[in-house]
Structure 1
């Protein structure tokens, strides 16, 4: 994609929770399934962003779509669906549902083309999208100091392509492989949604003139 990319600082593995094999075995392993979810949602946002770029309004619609998906109670609110305190094993680390939600936020946010400094703070998140109906849409991602550790983990996986069962290390093939995760009907649906969303934005902009 033609979005700007800012490199992230690698997350130090010593800061993440690793326990002995017996303790880890007591937690559900979700590395494969959650990696699939990360890649599929990243593909959705990357394809959405690419199509909005063609319409000339990026990142306005992309920011709104991202916020709508990841906000509290949204389709991608994995803190809620996994249970905020329940623990799982992802990529060799013990993570709570809340941590997984933060990883997803960082990973998919980068796929949408948002720079790391925007994803790392509540103020930055507000710059991504200031939804009038849900201005605190990202507050749950910054209500605990440890949140940023896992947001950075997701950012780092995207920037360095270290997601388990990763895509090609060749960045020129990265988006192509991501988009292959989408069916033709899914691509068509995203394209139509972008057109509708951009039309609303342009109409609002014309009314403000």
Structure 2
């Protein structure tokens, strides 16, 4: 299944009080495995960036002044997302800002059911434990060397690794049942036609004799002897 890992950086915490998006980062995953396709852009918020936000993201109004407006990147962003499920850490936050920007342009917004919240998933999986992105990276031994500041694409890439671990890690790629790691699922092997004639034995007579001699040294009633 194709999903999009999304992270946004903004000028503040409330999309209903004039805060705007300053950066968008997306990572495409299929069956929880990153495909290598990403989408990233800075966005001119057309307003100031508070100093406290700059300390977190490193973004300033001066840096963003010549960056595209959201209306200039909306088409490419929506095309990249397509009809995929959107995965975000504290999804209501990112969903609120993305939908606010889409609403300003008169575009269709993303319904709540299109979003998966990794904070909620982590809290259900690890009750009582810290569920921040940093905490989850440390839990899963994911390196944070690239994260000196909060950056949308950097955080989306880290979240992609966390999301994979929350869904069973890379071993889920070996899930023969194709159930996505669901507990209790049974492995289903396809029926194979019987050979018209059995394959000839490739055991040499000297090997067979050596094996029989070895079994004699074990003594007792051995299952190998009963099976001939």
With structure 2 as the length reference, what TM-score do the two structures score?
0.30
Counting helix residues as a fraction of each chain, which structure ranks higher? 1
Counting strand residues as a fraction of each chain, which structure ranks higher? 2
Q: Which structure has the larger Rg? A: 2
With structure 1 as the length reference, what TM-score do the two structures score?
0.32
